[in-house]
Amino acid sequence: MAEIKAYTPEKLVIGILISDLTLLPFLRRDIQKTWGPVDLETEPEVFIFSDYYNREMGTPIYRLFCSLEKLVDPEDLASIKIHSNALEEIYVSEGGRKINLDPGILCQSKFILATTKNNAHRIPMSKGIYGELTLQYRQGQFRDLEWTYPDYREAGSKQFLMDVRKIYVGQLKDTGA
């Protein structure tokens, strides 16, 4: 019989959509208060991949990513998504969100996003939260799957995740994990 082992800690990455950039310093503060220091962050870029959020959030909408210094237990991803949803509520005004947070976890072989939406390619985790294998790391790069969101297919997003992966691999070596 195979031995059951504890999960290896993974890297928390948060995809951020924001329609009011003046809120960004406050959001950074709240993210760091909740999950600890940010160790890598992208610059905001106009989100052009979907108009899904326009009605609620207004336009323009900006996309950025951040990774958190502290590694997390992958089994905590559902709880992290629940916390991120609560954090979004702080930034609701005029009937709609001004931010959308998409937490995910990165390890050496994959990147998984948390979501509240079920689909054939999503696995139930806990408390109404599903995990989606969004990108696979193979042959030295992150590779799309047929359901990978367009903004995660972009070279800049994948480069950010490669940079995060490099930090993560270093952290694993430093901790002996």
Q: Write the DSSP string, 96-126.
A: EESEEEEEEEE-SSEEEEEES---TTEEEEE
Mind listing the pLDDT tens digit for each residue in 110-122? 999 999 999 999 9
User: Is residue 66 scored above 90 in pLDDT?
Assistant: yes
Q: Write down the domain spans for the chain.
A: 10-175
How many angstroms separate the CA atoms of 53 and 11, rounded?
27
For 73-113, the pLDDT digits (tens) are 999 999 999 999 999 999 998 878 999 999 999 999 999 99
pTM > 0.85: yes or no: yes
Whether the pLDDT of residue 35 is over 90: the answer is yes
Read off the pLDDT band of 32 (50, 70, 90).
very high
